[in-house]
Structure formats: C-alpha cells, structure tokens
C-alpha cells in the first residue's frame, strides 16, 4: 500500500505527525507533500524539528494568493505528483485550501481520499474553511470524525455511515506526546513571565484583520486590562497594524513577539491565565490544557469546547472583552475531556484504512 499525505499549513503538521508515525511503524509506503500554502522557511524548519517530522518528499512552493488562485495552483501541481507517485490513497487533514486542493485533485484521478477531521461545522458559509470542510467531506471515502457532534453532522448531511469513523482528535495525540518535551522550553524565562500571570492572544483570520479599525479597537480594549498580554503576531495581522502605524502606540501591557515554534507555544499556552484566539485548534488545545479560552469569533466548529465549559464566543466586540475575561477567569480549571481524545487516534485511523479495503471504491 502507498499513501500520499498532503499538508500546507502549520496546524496540518501537528495533525499529520502521529498518523505519519503510525503508518511508518506499519511499514506503509508514504509520500509527504507540502504545498507551501503557509511558508516561512524558519518557522517551517522549527515546526518540523519540534515535531520530529521528516523533510517533505515533495515541496510545491505555492505560496500565498487569493483562494481561487492558490487552490488552482495547488491542484495543478498536486495532479502532477499524483500522476508520478500513483498512491492507493490520499490523506488530507483539516480545512485549509491545501486540504481541498488535495481532495479534488485525487478524486478526479479516481484516487480515494481520507479526510482527517471530518464533520466539523460552524454553519457559517462566509468562512472559507467551512466551504472547504463541506466539499472535502462530500467527496471523501474515509471520514475520520474527531467528535460525536462531527459524526452527527455527517449523518445529517447524508454521508454513508459505513464511511464514517469516530476516531477522536489527532491533534490531541500530538499534544499529549509532546507535552513533557515542552517543559524544557525556556520561553517563560526569555519573556520574564510567571506562570498564570498573563493572557495569551493569537489573531490571524482574514475576517478579523480586514477592517483595521475593528482590529485596533480590540487592541485598545486589551490595553485597559490590568494584566500582561502576550501576542505572537501573525504576519497578516502585523502588516495591518504596521500600515496603520499602530504598533508604535500599542498598550504598555501588550507584548508583541514573533510567531513561536510548537513546543515553545505549547508551554506558553499551558502556563497562561487565559487564551484569546480566532484559531480552531487552539480552542481544543486550551480545553486539553485546562486553560480558559475566549474565542474572537461569532461561531465555532469546535462546539465541544463550548459544551464542556472551556470556551466562550465574543466575536470582535471590545465591549465584551473585559467582561468575558472576568467571567471566564472564575470558571473551574478542569474541563471534561471529549471521548477518544487520547493517544490512540492514529492507530484507529490506520486500523480503519487497512481494515476496510471495500471503501477504496468510489
């Protein structure tokens, strides 16, 4: 058996790591393709080193662009790789453009697709990721769902139950296997931080950075909070703030830092008092680390984080921010963990792929 796996953004690396290792242990031939959708040479190197991932077999170097331009360029290049490698199965993870491009290219060449993280829904079609999720799930032969809600979503959309596998959250497997290693990080010392004395924020989504006034209003609201806020600044967000001349006037309690590697960021998250984010995966990691999370979005596909009390939604409303911080800081710091969020997710995925050859037929 030969499996081709496609990654393109840093969250993809965390999701593919345990799957890659499980396939390797079972001596399955693998081809790892990096589209270059999100590419910073230094950050990619750090992530691959932290996760001990091998250098990709194929690097496409697509780079940024509009959704249509980027996805089209990926499909063209991925098709070339598929023609040359002729895999038995393509594995795609998450919900980025690389996920969609890999799935469409494969299915058009009659190569079956396995989607890891199937069934997540925000029910907001304004989100490019939501469109990607729905389309990829519709054309995949193996649907690996991370939560019971995701299974319900797939069934309600008419997915064949035989193709749905409730396996748990593979990114959690990566977190669990790297947490002890993250304790060796010097990031708290470097930033002169005391555990549980600071808030952590990440913000990068296009819908949250498109309007500079809304973004600046949020930062101004943060500046009024009597707690240190650490912000590893995404390049997209940094560009908006720089063009507005705002970085020179940012609140004294806000410390802007460069994006971090996986282990440093994991340790920074686990020691924070609370997390503010518009990322999907960080909501889940916060739940696993028992750190309260405030999500800077109107909705989330990570519904289980809301149900388990680890997360609240406030959108980008600065008026809601201080009350949200006050509210969530009072919440209990031990959250129920969802079923199958453990260290055996990749094993369940491999078992399903090997144990169900009948699903390879489109």
Question: Would you name the residues annotated as active-site residues?
Answer: 204
- Tokens for 262, please give them: 């996986």
- Count of CA atoms in the C-beta half-sphere (13 A) of 253: 16
Q: Find, among 297, 82, 300, the residue nearest to 91 by Cα.
A: 82
DSSP 157: T
- Count of CA atoms in the C-beta half-sphere (13 A) of 265: 25
Cβ-contact 114, 142 below 8 angstroms = yes
Q: Which helix (H) or strand (E) holds 92?
A: strand 89-93
DSSP track, 224-291: TSSSEEEEE--HHHHHHHHHTT-GGG--TTEEEE----HHHHHHHHHT-SEEEES-HHHHHHHHHHT-
Q: Work out the end-to-end distance of the chain between its first and last CA atoms, rounded to an integer number of angstroms.
A: 17
Q: Find, among 339, 280, 277, 279, the residue nearest to 308 by Cα.
A: 339
150's CB contacts (< 8 A; 6+ apart) are 117, 118, 119, 120, 121, 166
Q: Which helix (H) or strand (E) holds 118?
A: none
Q: Is the four-CA dihedral 235, 241, 244, 248 of positive or negative sign?
A: negative
Bridge partners (DSSP) listed for residue 313: 295
56's CB contacts (< 8 A; 6+ apart) are 7, 32, 33, 34
Determine the Cα–Cα distance for residues 10 and 285; give it in Å rounded to an integer.
14
Determine the Cα–Cα distance for residues 283 and 278; give it in Å rounded to an integer.
8
């Amino acid at each position: 058996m030969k499996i081709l796996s496609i990654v393109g953004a840093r969250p993809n690396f965390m999701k593919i790591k345990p799957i890659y290792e499980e396939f390797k242990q079972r001596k399955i031939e693998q081809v790892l393709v990096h589209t270059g959708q999100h590419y910073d040479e230094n950050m990619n190197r750090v992530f691959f080193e932290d996760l001990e991932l091998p250098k990709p077999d194929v690097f496409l170097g697509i780079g940024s662009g509009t959704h249509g331009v980027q996805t089209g360029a990926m499909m063209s290049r991925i098709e070339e790789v598929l023609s040359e490698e002729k895999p038995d199965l393509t594995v795609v993870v998450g919900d980025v453009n690389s996920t969609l491009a890999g799935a469409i290219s494969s299915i058009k060449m009659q190569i079956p697709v396995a989607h890891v993280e199937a069934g997540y829904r925000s029910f907001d079609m304004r989100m490019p990721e939501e469109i990607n999720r729905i389309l990829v799930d519709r054309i995949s032969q193996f649907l690996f769902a991370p939560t019971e809600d995701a299974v319900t979503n797939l069934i309600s959309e008419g997915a064949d139950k035989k193709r749905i596998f409730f396996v748990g959250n593979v990114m959690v497997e990566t977190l669990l296997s790297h947490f002890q290693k993250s304790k060796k990080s010097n990031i708290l010392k470097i930033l002169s931080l005391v555990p549980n004395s600071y808030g952590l924020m990440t913000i990068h989504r296009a819908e949250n950075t498109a309007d500079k006034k809304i973004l600046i209003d949020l930062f101004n609201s943060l500046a009024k909070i009597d707690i240190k806020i650490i912000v590893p600044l995404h390049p997209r967000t940094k560009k908006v703030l720089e063009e507005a001349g705002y970085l020179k006037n940012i609140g004294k309690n806000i410390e802007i830092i460069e994006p971090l590697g996986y282990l440093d960021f994991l340790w920074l998250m686990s020691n924070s008092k609370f997390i503010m984010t518009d990322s999907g995966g960080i909501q889940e990691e916060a739940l696993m680390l028992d750190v309260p999370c405030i999500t800077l979005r109107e909705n989330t596909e990570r519904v289980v984080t809301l149900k388990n009390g680890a997360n609240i939604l406030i959108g980008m409303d600065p008026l809601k921010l201080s009350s949200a911080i006050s509210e969530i800081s009072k919440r209990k710091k031990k959250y129920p963990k969802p079923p199958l969020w453990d260290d055996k997710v990749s094993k369940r995925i491999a078992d399903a792929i090997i144990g169900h050859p009948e699903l390879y037929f489109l």
